[in-house]
Amino acid sequence: QSCCICYKMGATITCCQTGCGRAFHLPCAPEGRCVTQYFGAYRSFCWEHSPQQKLQPRPSRHNTCTICLDTVEDTISYNTMGCPVCQDARFHRPCIQRLALHAGIGFRCPCCLNQEPFMM
């Protein structure tokens, strides 16, 4: 199949949304804002069908990444994620992915230390 991001052949990851025919290479996923979940059913989503976090708006005075301490967007997006438990911690996607790789089974929110809902 042709990759919907780089348009080269050999795409093997498909969007799990019924009726969506998009396929992509795993290395192309971040560039195309595709999401691949490595837990539970190991699902992949194209940019149109990727899951969205439903967090409450927060004051703009706390707009720093809890991990790298650089500024993050005020809203939740593909690039900015937040802790669903404490609702205060915000992260850049690359920062939280790096933390997950290094934390292994001890992956938890760096602010409230919650693990199970945080991982989901």
CATH number assigned to the domain comprising residue 64: 3.30.40
Q: What pLDDT does 87 receive?
A: 79
Tokens of 48: 């149109």
Q: What pLDDT does 29 receive?
A: 93
Residues of the chain with pLDDT under 50: none
Q: Which residue among 31, 51, 71 closes a domain? A: 51
Cα end-to-end span (Å), the chain = 30
**Which tens digits make up the pLDDT trace of 53-70?**
777 655 555 688 989 999
Q: What pLDDT does 92 receive?
A: 92
Q: What is the phi/psi pair of residue 80, to 5°?
A: -125, 125
* 65 and 24, same domain (yes or no): no
Counting the structural domains of the chain, the total is 2
Euclidean distance between CA atoms 96 and 11, whole angstroms: 26
